[in-house]
């Protein structure tokens, strides 16, 4: 790709099915199976086509280990081995490669053309590419500090709680700065070859090329085009291996992330608050995720009884 500059510049009821009705019953069964298959496809966001090292998958409130061929769905959270990589390929042709300890969530996945899918990259290295064959689906990548509308672009990013660096390899993206409360500043555009840097709450800067440090630390395979492997898994499917219900430590960084990333976590992980250790940790860190207060202490939010002695006393004082 001509705009790539880091290589050169910085080094899814058979009852009554008797004789004479076999045809209609077969039609019923076929229709049922097709419906189930369609439902399964609708729930599939992408396929894990490459996995080097361990890949942890959090689905609902349960931790699994995942391997190549696992279908991924909306809401799935992935944690990649610090020395490994994992690649997700979507039905529309978009590809996302996560590397070196990256943590990401398929927040929402569009089910058709001209929709918008959102993927949150909490930390680590990621490379994404979306080409013109992507059937009109638009992808948005959310990091702790920057939101990126990918368009038809290829880019490499490195995300952390306090910073985000993005190198636009080709195409063009639109990005906007976000705070921990989700406040966005005016969107800006970046084209192939440009480098976006955001540190803390400081305004993002846009430079003509990636920094030497960014190129030095970037996974080596990110220098090349991402391989297209999805065809290998059309008739090959793997199931993730269940490990255990998630512990607080395994989702702590997500629970403490900026609100745009953690906004649906109370409903998702509420069942785990019945576990004594998980509950204790929630209470200890309540300042970091105050939305859990209503789950942990529901009595504080119950309607006050006007006939209670305390309410009558308060009324008398007024």
27 — pLDDT class (breaks 50, 70, 90)? very low
Q: 289 — alpha (psi -120 to 50), left (phi > 0) or beta?
A: beta
Res 287: pLDDT: 96
Residues 204 and 306 in one domain: no
173 — pLDDT class (breaks 50, 70, 90)? very high
pLDDT of 34 over the 80 cut: no
Q: Of the candidates 93, 80, 177, 168, which has an alpha carbon nearest to the alpha carbon of residue 138?
A: 93
Residues 121 and 52 in one domain: yes
pLDDT of 11 over the 90 cut: no
Give Cα separations from 110 to 48, 179, 188 (angstroms): 18, 25, 24
183 — pLDDT class (breaks 50, 70, 90)? confident
Q: What's the CATH code of the domain at 188? A: 2.60.120.1440
Domain that residue 272 falls in: 248-317
Residues 160 and 290 in one domain: no
pLDDT of 24 over the 80 cut: no
Res 245: pLDDT: 98
Residues 6 or more apart whose Cβ sits within 8 Å of residue 171: 151, 152, 153, 154, 155, 191, 192
Report whether 292 contacts 279 (CB < 8 A): no
DSSP element (H, E) containing 275: none
Residues 135 and 71 in one domain: yes
Residues 152 and 193 in one domain: yes
pTM of the model: 0.82
163 within domain boundaries: yes
Number of domains comprising the chain: 2
- Per-residue DSSP letters for 56-111? EEEETTEEEE--TTBEEETT-EEEE-TT-EEEEEETTS-EEEEEEEEEEEEEE---
13 — pLDDT class (breaks 50, 70, 90)? very low
156: number of Cβ within 10 Å:
26
132 within domain boundaries: yes
215 within domain boundaries: yes
Mean pLDDT in residue range 131-160: 86
Residues 135 and 229 in one domain: yes
Residues 307 and 182 in one domain: no
Residues 281 and 171 in one domain: no
* Top mean-pLDDT range of 16-25, 26-35, 257-266: 257-266
Domain boundary among 233, 258, 274: 233
Residues 109 and 56 in one domain: yes
312 — pLDDT class (breaks 50, 70, 90)? low
pLDDT of 185 over the 70 cut: yes
35 within domain boundaries: no
Q: Pairing relation of β-strands 116-129 and 138-142? A: parallel
- 3-state SS track over 189-207: EEECCCEEEEECCCCCEEE
65 within domain boundaries: yes
Q: How far apart are CA 31 and CA 25, in angstroms?
A: 10
Report whether 246 contacts 273 (CB < 8 A): no
Domain boundary among 233, 259, 288: 233
Residues 53 and 194 in one domain: yes
Reported as half-sphere exposure (CB side, CA atoms, 13 A), residue 58 has a value of 23
DSSP element (H, E) containing 315: helix 309-317
pLDDT of 302 over the 70 cut: yes
Q: How far apart are CA 308 and CA 41, in angstroms?
A: 55
Per-residue pLDDT tens over the stretch 96-111: 999 999 999 999 987 6
The angle at the Cα of 316, spanning 315 to 318, to the nearest 5 degrees, equals: 65
Residues 280 and 144 in one domain: no
Tokens describing residue 225: 């085009």
Give Cα separations from 45 to 10, 107, 152, 162 (angstroms): 36, 10, 19, 29
pLDDT of 244 over the 80 cut: yes
Residues 276 and 170 in one domain: no
Lowest-pLDDT range, 81-90, 111-120, 199-208?
111-120
Res 137: pLDDT: 75
* Mean pLDDT, the chain, integer: 84
36 within domain boundaries: no
77 within domain boundaries: yes
Report whether 136 contacts 91 (CB < 8 A): no
pLDDT of 121 over the 70 cut: yes
76 within domain boundaries: yes
Domain boundary among 233, 262, 293: 233
Q: How far apart are CA 102 and CA 59, in angstroms?
A: 17
pLDDT of 297 over the 80 cut: yes
45 — pLDDT class (breaks 50, 70, 90)? confident
pLDDT of 20 over the 50 cut: no
Place of tokens 């990013």: 157
Reported as half-sphere exposure (CB side, CA atoms, 13 A), residue 7 has a value of 11
44 — pLDDT class (breaks 50, 70, 90)? low
Mean pLDDT in residue range 212-231: 96
In the chain, the N- to C-terminal Cα span, in Å, equals 74
pLDDT of 228 over the 90 cut: yes
pLDDT of 122 over the 90 cut: yes
**What letter does residue 3 receive in the DSSP assignment?**
T
């Amino acid at each position: 790709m001509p705009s790539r500059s880091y290589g050169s510049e910085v080094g899814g009821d058979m009852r009554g099915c008797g004789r004479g009705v076999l045809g209609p019953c077969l039609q019923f069964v076929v229709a049922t199976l097709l419906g189930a298959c369609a439902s399964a496809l609708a729930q599939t966001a992408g396929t894990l086509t490459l996995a080097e090292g361990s890949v942890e998958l959090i689905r609902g409130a349960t931790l699994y280990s995942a391997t190549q061929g696992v279908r991924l769905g909306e809401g799935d959270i992935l944690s990649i081995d610090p020395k490994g990589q994992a690649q997700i390929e979507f039905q529309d042709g978009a590809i996302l490669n996560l590397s070196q300890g990256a943590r990401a969530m398929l927040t929402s996945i569009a089910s058709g053309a001209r929709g918008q899918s959102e993927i949150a990259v909490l930390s680590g290295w990621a490379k994404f590419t979306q080409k013109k064959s992507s059937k009109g689906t638009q992808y948005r990548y959310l990091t702790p500090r920057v939101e990126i509308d990918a368009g038809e672009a290829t880019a490499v990013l490195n995300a952390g709680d306090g910073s985000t660096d993005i190198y636009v390899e080709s195409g063009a993206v639109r990005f906007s700065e976000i705070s921990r409360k989700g406040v966005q500043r005016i969107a800006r555009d970046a084209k192939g070859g440009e480098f976006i840097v955001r540190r803390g709450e400081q305004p993002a800067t846009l430079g003509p090329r990636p920094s030497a440090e960014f190129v030095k630390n970037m996974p080596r395979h990110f220098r090349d085009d991402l391989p297209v492997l999805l065809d290998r898994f059309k008739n090959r499917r793997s199931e993730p291996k269940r490990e255990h219900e998630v512990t607080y430590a395994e989702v702590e960084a997500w629970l403490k992330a900026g609100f745009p990333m953690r906004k649906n976590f109370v409903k998702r992980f509420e069942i785990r608050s019945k576990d004594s250790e998980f509950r204790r940790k929630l209470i200890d860190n309540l300042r970091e995720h105050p939305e859990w207060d209503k789950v942990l202490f529901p009595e504080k939010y119950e309607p006050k009884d006007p006939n209670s002695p305390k309410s009558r006393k308060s009324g008398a004082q007024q």
